[in-house]
Structure 1
């Protein structure tokens, strides 16, 4: 035992010095390790849809756009059903136009059929004027230039409105029949229950002045009829008096109605809104704002 230990101690010391080529790494092993790292760290998360870092700005937007393109909502309208572009304001001047002034009462009678000389007032303008202005859309009025008196026979006993031809028309005779038919359709559902009246029957006439597309409207066109026609009037179709000027809303909120006092509210104006005054009926003023008209109480505009 002692001899063996001595033999080990006496064994000569050997030193191995590696050659330069032996210190280089085994590139095959390095390649395998790199490939495994790429698969585990980069390729697998992408294939699995796992995001391991913050989103790049704009990624979410592009993704949302892609999803919306791939699956549009069920309520989306097809491209062919897209709404047509609205015409610009100047285009409205290229349409057929019609100007209608206040009407006049030519005669009236009581329940016994006796004629009354002074018919007074009958507030039929709020009923008639909006419907007569719709005649600009009548096919027979396209390109028309001239005046057409349109008569009405109101029978409050039967609650009937009949459209008749007026006299002294300056439009072609071929267009008159078509326009009267359009007018009859406009007044077919008119109710006379809300029209205050004193007598049983009234005969009225309104003068509609037609202007073709692009024509210049005469400044006095709103007068509606001539002097000779005014002299034949037995009454008026409105108690409105013409006024002019500007005013500003003095209340926090001013209600603008379609008719004085109890008419339907058509606009709400805030304090300071400037309006144009075009008419008056007792304590109510008719105003105009951005092409719309209505009635407002005088106190709401500081008058």
Structure 2
């Protein structure tokens, strides 16, 4: 038994050193890193998608239709354009066109002491007044009124306002209509300031003559306040006396509305008629025998 055991070769175990073992682990790490890099880069280079993309709404709807078998929606037609609304024809005449406004006529003026001045300067109240006067055409309850409305204004520059408004003698409208116009005029001029208007005196009395046409009347209709130019031709002699019926009659140098204003004659003044040309009359209007032309309705002709 001892001889058999002695003939077996001895078992030899070799343990690698630390140097040899580190080299083998290093190679394994390099191979793993190279494989990882190739695994990341290769799908990008080859254009292969490993994970499906998030579907866009259109694609999702198409996919849902394929799965459910629902028919595809047809595009809705654009809504038809609305039919044009027929325009309402305008009225024959705007309300403001019913009012024909004369030039402003300064009847009198007073100085700081309240005494009446011998002569009055022409103040620029007209640029403020005309807009408000045109608005009287829309005064409630006067839509069918037609005739003459004379409005007198008392301007007080000391107080800086229109002190009062009253109806003149040449007004031809019914009193209830006049009262409505006066109420509208007072409301319209209540807050009109006089600041900025050049003036020489403290207070002024002036008049406007308004001719109101009927709603069906023509805007081109000649009026007493804005007469058409007199027909050409020589004047004819005339004689007699007349009384001024307008609140203030303008006496002009010639028988035309663009003639120079020579004088202003107040209502009730007696004048002597000396000639006629168309719708104009030549009159003597003072004790000196001064003459000029007035429109026929100014003296009731």
> Which one has the bigger helix percentage?
1
User: Normalising by the residue count of structure 1, what TM-score does the alignment of the two structures yield?
Assistant: 0.48
Larger Rg belongs to: 2
Structure with the greater relative contact order (CA < 8 A, sep ≥ 6): 1 or 2? 1
